[in-house]
Structure 1
């Protein structure tokens, strides 16, 4: 999982592009060669930093991109060292000036005027001359990285206009349709409470319920269980399900909702026309909407999307982020916790054997239970491992999987990897750095809060 170190790299580039370079430019303004080198750094770095997000995603399957990132990190540290040298030299000259001013008036008069400031002294000029070869080497490496960036196909990923590679989901988006061959377990209490709230009449505007939990905790499954419950058939005139994920597009989402209500409606591009039609269709209608996997934290975007829905509408939002839940202002938030060992066992055996237990496969019982303990209450992990082992009925192979890590599974056969990677990508930069730092500790290391803070 080398990609987690890129958060620190991004932060380092921010520093190089910020006050560090500006301070150095002021310090070397009297030396044209050094000044020109720094200006070139400042012109090249933004283009490199702009493609970091794309490189972070692409390096997982592209060794060339991984090597590019490693070279960039080495360069960033070397450039940071040079900027530190400039900062140290500037500080030394200021101290020299202070000491000189504290000397006797006779000594000060003997000093040439060119040596009394911090901008130029003979030793300072020699220092800057000595830095030129190091700086030219950094500039050459920067230019090389820029050229390689283009040949590797790295491009900028904008916050709400991601590249086609990023838009392509790591796995198929969930729908409202459930697998009829699986018996779902573990969320009975939450399901019952949600159904009661959905059947309750309200006149205070749109009623929103939110389901919050980390990736793989079963938020979508709970929404599916509620959405498909037969007892709601008499409670709503229309139902709709939309999966948002990272690409929040109000026009696209509104079209999907409208076509769920009226399949004959055309695909409209104008948001105003869309919302007017939606409001007409839903007037005096009891409407239930599921918005699955919402990441957008903008209150304005939420109010625009919600505006066509009246007091007879009920909305279920699933999200990994508590902030998103706060934005949608739910009547009730359901925070999903881990499942019990028994529930995870049931999920695992259903996907590996098509049964609720190990009764017909007792030879796998012990290692199977050990595997499920490794899932740590995460239903997606139980499903992923069960699905992976479905075609493997060899006890030695099961033992080998138990001794390995979930990360060793092929990504196209294990949904847990992209599910958790997506959670990582959406961490704030400072939390990515904390995550990267904590990852250097060995597996099963017992963290002490004060120790980590001090480190």
Structure 2
């Protein structure tokens, strides 16, 4: 069974592929560094399945995965920073003032002096991450992993990873403990309601997934619902693939060629009269709930949905009752 770390690595590789040719990235001139980063993440992606299988029995593998988790979060954050800083250098951005344009008159955008600072800062951070990942790849434990047990297909299904056996990270600090307890209490206080929704909202890399994982693994949560499922959605999900992934999460397998409507009915029939706790991680579009999951999930007696997203408007459109 796949874990949340596997989902994060796949999501990171997909995100790197998308941003390398982004105009905001090109203007920073860091595409070569990102291409190198992508190559290393893809190498790790090939062996993550075997590493996860061995994590519980081998302390060295568990430590290696902990280092990997930390650096993947850092990669996710620097990609957001790079796009943000790069977009501010584009001529059509509001921050691109006439003074900057005048100062750069007669020069290409890439050679403009006013771009050097942001390019250098982002480039230094990416090179630092490349060195960290290179160190992880050079670890002797990496050479013992089997790289042939995991599919490397690029279809939509590969971007949807189920996980009911999530890693418990080494969480520290009073804030994460306080937040997780608060949200667990909110879920339990509303567990008898039908499709009670909560959201964790924040920018990339701030720990939304980590907090959601802490809640998902909480023993009170595990003992309060009949069905538990974790779905990593990501930006370009496929409706049929996502419904199939939800069904596989709860132990129900689909037939080839089933339509969206047939899959929705199968989901509704499976959870009818049962309680469920569902995490939708990394949601980029509200219609995953409004158009796809709302109708079948209303067939249950009681349930809670925890959403993580970067956009508060998405959470509001979904109709969450609490935003953290």
Q: Given the two structures, how large is their TM-score scaled by the length of structure 2?
A: 0.48
Larger RCO of the pair (alpha carbons < 8 Å, separation 6+)? 2
Which has the greater radius of gyration? 1
